[in-house]
């Protein structure tokens, strides 16, 4: 059996079976980040690897590489309801790369980390034929509770932040060299993402969210993660899912299906949350104050899996999104 036979999900399942847990491990493998009990204080840790060609399309600037590396890591911290404190980056670089390129990357890492209240405090350097950036983010819970993937409960409402599909549509534009005029914002969504850190911190402080996950692997795939970890069924309505309006325009122009980007595309770095119906208005009020649009797209019930209502019919939403080795 090869890695391609099991995919990324299979490797994660294997890791959960093999690696030991212990008293200090409050949240282990399988969530957006790990949570450790360090002398009575909850510390959250995550890591993310980005590789040129896979995560950095041709033409990506050093500033854009740096921003994406920071955002990919702090977004996982945010999904847990924590505040990022520090980042470490192990970076592999080609030996003939211009020093000015690396300097620009470092400066942008420092700048973007500062936007989220964090510091770059170390890392490692190595040589490679392509640029590889592996980040480690460390955070703490200042006031709120830990928000895990496993907290969804029957009758919860499913809420997503922002608009979906922009980043994956931007990637298609870049990779296939599609005419960009009028769709520049989609390209920026791919190359210059932002994480919902402040919004997640505010929600965690208020203690209003039962479960959360960041949508870096796509809406469908990440809703399946929530379903599996919480042991519940999620049913969403396609008409309620907040498509990025420019994605709809792009798909109409190129004769493409918006579902491929909105449901199954990734790297939007938005959040999916589940909340009790009676707490919804408070969640919406907090997000509104942060300038963050949010939409109720469905409900949690007893059972397993993820269903989608579309054109008057209900069917299983394919467990499909961005997955390594597939």
Regarding whether 227 and 98 lie in a shared domain, the answer is no
Span 296-308, mean pLDDT?
A: 98
CATH number of the domain to which 100 belongs: 3.30.1330.10
Domain that holds residue 122: 31-140
Alpha helices in 99-180 (DSSP H): 99-115, 166-175
Torsion of CA 88, 217, 229, 13, to 10 degrees: -70
| 20 CB-near residues (< 8 Å, 6+ apart) | none
Span 80-92, mean pLDDT?
A: 97
Span 108-117, mean pLDDT?
A: 98
Regarding whether 310 and 252 lie in a shared domain, the answer is yes
Regarding whether 164 and 107 lie in a shared domain, the answer is no
Tell me the pLDDT tens digit for each residue of 174-206. 988 887 789 999 999 999 999 999 999 999 999
Regarding whether 177 and 307 lie in a shared domain, the answer is yes
Tell me the pLDDT tens digit for each residue of 8-43. 888 888 998 999 999 999 999 989 999 999 998 999
Regarding whether 253 and 132 lie in a shared domain, the answer is no
Write down the residue that tokens 């520049």 correspond to.
Answer: 184
Tell me the pLDDT tens digit for each residue of 211-257. 999 999 999 999 999 999 999 999 999 999 999 999 999 999 999 99
Instruction: Please indicate, yes or no, whether the overall pTM of this predicted structure exceeds 0.85.
Output: yes
Residue 326 has pLDDT above 90, yes or no: no
3-state secondary structure of 167: helix
Percent of the chain with pLDDT over 70: 98
Q: What is the pLDDT of residue 322?
A: 61
> Are 158 and 236 contacting, i.e. CB atoms less than 8 angstroms apart?
yes
Regarding whether 298 and 232 lie in a shared domain, the answer is yes
Single out the residue in 84, 108, 140 at which a domain terminates: 140
What is the CB neighbour count within 10 angstroms for residue 141? 20
Regarding whether 163 and 125 lie in a shared domain, the answer is no
How far apart CA 142 and CA 133 sit, in angstroms, is 28
> Are 191 and 71 contacting, i.e. CB atoms less than 8 angstroms apart?
no
Structural domains of the chain, count: 2
Regarding whether 169 and 307 lie in a shared domain, the answer is yes
Regarding whether 126 and 200 lie in a shared domain, the answer is no
When pLDDT is cut at 50, 70 and 90, the band that residue 59 belongs to is confident
Regarding whether 116 and 245 lie in a shared domain, the answer is no
Percent of the chain with pLDDT over 90: 85
Regarding whether 232 and 178 lie in a shared domain, the answer is yes
Let me know if residue 212 belongs to a domain: yes
């Amino acid at each position: 059996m090869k890695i391609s036979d099991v995919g990324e999900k299979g490797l994660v399942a294997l890791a959960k079976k093999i690696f030991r847990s212990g008293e200090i491990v409050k949240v282990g493998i399988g969530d957006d980040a790990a949570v450790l009990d360090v002398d009575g204080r909850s510390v959250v840790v995550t890591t993310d690897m980005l590789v040129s060609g896979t995560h950095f399309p041709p033409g990506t600037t050093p500033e854009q590489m740096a921003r994406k590396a920071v955002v990919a890591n702090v977004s996982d911290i945010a999904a847990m309801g924590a505040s990022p404190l520090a980042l470490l980056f192990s970076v592999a670089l080609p030996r003939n790369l211009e020093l000015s390129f690396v300097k620009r990357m470092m400066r942008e890492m420092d700048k973007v980390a500062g936007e989220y209240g964090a510091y770059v405090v170390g890392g490692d350097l190595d040589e490679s034929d392509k640029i590889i950036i592996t980040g480690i983010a460390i955070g703490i819970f200042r006031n709120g509770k830990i928000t895990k993937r496993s907290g969804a409960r029957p009758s919860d409402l499913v809420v997503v932040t922002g608009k979906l599909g922009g980043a994956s549509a931007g990637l298609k534009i870049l990779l296939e060299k599609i005419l960009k005029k009028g769709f520049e914002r989609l390209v920026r969504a791919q190359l210059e993402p932002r994480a919902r850190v402040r919004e997640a911190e505010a929600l965690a402080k208020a203690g209003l969210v039962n479960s959360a996950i960041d949508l870096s692997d796509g809406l469908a795939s990440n809703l399946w993660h929530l379903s599996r970890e919480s042991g519940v069924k999620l049913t969403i309505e396609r008409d309620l899912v907040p498509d990025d309006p420019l994605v709809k325009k792009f798909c109409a122009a190129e004769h493409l299906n918006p579902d491929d980007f909105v449901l199954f595309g990734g790297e939007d770095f938005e959040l999916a949350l589940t909340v009790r119906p009676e707490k919804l208005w408070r969640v919406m009020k907090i997000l509104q104050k942060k300038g963050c649009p949010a939409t109720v797209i469905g409900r949690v019930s007893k059972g397993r899996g993820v269903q989608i209502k579309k054109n008057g019919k209900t069917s299983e939403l394919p467990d499909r999104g961005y997955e390594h080795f597939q």
